[in-house]
Amino acid sequence: MKSAPRLVAAALLGLAAWGPAAFAGEDVFPGRPEATVDLGTREGAALMNGQWRYSDTRLVQVAFHDPGSDNQPTGADTRTWDYLPKAGARDFDDASWDRIDPVTLSKPRGHGHLSFNWYRIRLTVPQRIGSFDPTGSTIVFETQVDDYAEVWVDGELPHPTAQSGGPVVMGWNAKNRLVIGRDVKPGQQIQVALFGINGPISKSPTNFIFLHYAKLEFHRGPVGPMGVVPHEVNVDVLRIDPRIDAIVPPNPKVWKLAEGFKFTEGPVWVPDGDAGHLLFSDPNSNTIYRYRDGALGVFRMPSGYSGSDIAEYGQPGSNGLTLDSRGRLTIDQHGNHRVIRIEPDGSETVLADSYQGKRLNSPNDLVYKSDDTLYFTDPPFGLPKFFDDPRKELPYSGVYRWKDGQLTLLVKDLTGPNGIALSPDEKYLYVGDWDDKFKVVMRYPVLDDGALGKGEVFYDMTSAPGEDAIDGIKVDTQGNVYVSGPGGLWILSADGKHLGTIIPPRHPHNMTWGDEDGRTLYLTAQDRVYRIRLNIPGIRPQPRS
């Protein structure tokens, strides 16, 4: 007998089988390009509105740990070597670095022997390259650094197993060739950072570091989102409280699974027999996608709106997704101003679309209690003009409870209620506020009848640097709270202490626990999807068969 989640999956629309082989993550387009740009010339750099910048590095001693019994850095305290500056990040401030003329890239730099350096350039896709329109192109970057190099693209350094000659070191004076942009648009910016290495490293050479050349190729490539061969990317972990070590492994790994989306949101893991799959929204493209074992497909389109004025919307589609106790998918729909549930036969049930005769704003995130009481947030962020949109009928942004067909307004004093989650014992409801002037996670006692008691500020991030306010929220089985906050994924203890922050290359706006043991956290991070394995399982929908 099929489980309820399997019935729902079978009933929903449009599953395309896009296998990982069809969208290999690091193919290098060996064919003839449509256009090329030489970044070693003033004309080429100017065409891309690029300015080369340069910095030497310096070696510094840092504290670390020797290998422990688990072969991870959990052993005795020690000292080792690192380098500064760490300049691979997309938003790294290189304004004080030397500006170098493109025609001098082949000039020897560095100081010989054991030395490293950085070259950075921010590229802007032009309207035209001669008669060629680059819209929709795949851009390949190629360089040859004497002696070795690694290449960061928009703050990301992919390093797939056995991969060489792309973003990471290949060999003596070998070229680096890698895709730096897919389905690009004129005006799009791409930050490239080259880390130069003098070599052979063990010989302490007396030569210096320089670029033989640097060029771009524009190819006709696949457009739209794609699954990639899962591969590791860089991640930083800010460890503030020792308790973070029980949550985040000493050598954490973030894996990229898919990319090329407009904006990813609202993920949920759907159990399916012995396996399962990930569903997530792209509200900007009005689509729900399905990911499983490297294969990406369209699950539902349109996902949130099909009105004639859809072009006016920035995010007309679905946002939050979750499952009820019977495995039925529940969807927050921005453009339709409503929350719907998908029945096993594929039909839709509207759970909520108005309150006291006025239409909801744009339901954002949602969570079920074990008795199928649904809590959801309703800011106006899915409306074309947000708070000033004429479609906005309610004078506030609410937090609501839906139970047995009845909708109740619980909270209306937050500017932009967004992420929402329940504590493991369901005694507290956490709500994040997307408000640049009040970046807080609120905590409300859940009363016996499902109503909420007086809320309190659980954690205030207002003073934290970073443009983002508070987005998605999830909780693990020990009550730790995971919050999409300024600068990354914040981990807060159940008593409201900041334990640490996970910082992947792209900011994760929402997340969900998945895989059989619930210890894999899937991150919807702007235009891509990542996953990371953690030590503590998470609280997630557990449909009863």
What is the spatial distance between Cα 518 and Cα 269, in angstroms, rounded to a whole number? 9
Q: What are the residue boundaries of the structural domains of the chain, listed by start?
A: 4-16+227-533, 30-220
In this prediction, residue 489 carries a pLDDT of: 98
Q: What is the pLDDT of residues 420-433, one digit of tens each?
A: 999 999 999 999 99
Q: In this prediction, what percent of the chain has a pLDDT beyond 90?
A: 86
Q: What is the pLDDT of residues 67-118, one digit of tens each?
A: 999 999 999 999 999 999 999 999 999 999 999 999 999 999 999 999 999 9
Judged against a pLDDT cut of 70, whether residue 3 lies above it is answered with no
Model confidence at 169, pLDDT cuts 50, 70, 90, reads: confident
Query: Does pTM top 0.85 for this prediction?
Result: yes
In this prediction, residue 505 carries a pLDDT of: 96
Q: What are the residue ranges of helices labelled H in 432-491? A: none
- Distance spanning both ends of the chain, measured CA to CA: 10
**Closest-CA residue to 160 (of 227, 226, 229, 225):** 229
> Candidates 2.120.10.30, 3.30.70.20, 3.40.50.150, 2.60.120.10; correct CATH number of 4-16+227-533?
2.120.10.30
In this prediction, residue 30 carries a pLDDT of: 75
Q: What is the pLDDT of residues 377-414, one digit of tens each?
A: 999 999 999 999 999 999 999 999 999 999 999 999 99
Model confidence at 173, pLDDT cuts 50, 70, 90, reads: confident
Judged against a pLDDT cut of 50, whether residue 148 lies above it is answered with yes
Per-residue buried b or exposed e for 207-245, using 16+ beta carbons within 10 Å of the residue's own CB = ebbbbeebbbbbbebeebbbbbbbbebbbebebeeeebe
In this prediction, residue 522 carries a pLDDT of: 98
Judged against a pLDDT cut of 60, whether residue 252 lies above it is answered with yes
Of 20-24, 303-307, 398-402, 405-409, minimum mean pLDDT range: 20-24
Arithmetic mean of pLDDT over the chain:
92
In this prediction, residue 466 carries a pLDDT of: 82
Residue of higher predicted confidence among 204 and 259: 259
In this prediction, residue 7 carries a pLDDT of: 33
> Candidates 1.20.58.110, 2.60.120.260, 3.40.718.10, 3.40.710.10; correct CATH number of 30-220?
2.60.120.260
What is the spatial distance between Cα 444 and Cα 417, in angstroms, rounded to a whole number? 13
Judged against a pLDDT cut of 50, whether residue 6 lies above it is answered with no
The mean per-residue pLDDT over the stretch 236-249 comes to: 97
Of 29-33, 148-152, 344-348, 399-403, minimum mean pLDDT range: 29-33
Model confidence at 156, pLDDT cuts 50, 70, 90, reads: very high
What is the spatial distance between Cα 265 and Cα 349, in angstroms, rounded to a whole number? 22
DSSP run (H or E) holding 59: strand 58-65
Judged against a pLDDT cut of 80, whether residue 17 lies above it is answered with no
Q: Write out 481-541 in H/E/C secondary structure.
A: EEEEECCEEEEECCCCCEEEEEECCCCCCEEEEECCCCCEEEEEECCEEEEEECCCCECCC
Four-point Cα dihedral 534, 511, 138, 86, nearest 10: -50
Judged against a pLDDT cut of 60, whether residue 333 lies above it is answered with yes
Judged against a pLDDT cut of 80, whether residue 309 lies above it is answered with yes
- Compute CA distances 479 → 126, 259, 426, whole Å: 49, 31, 10
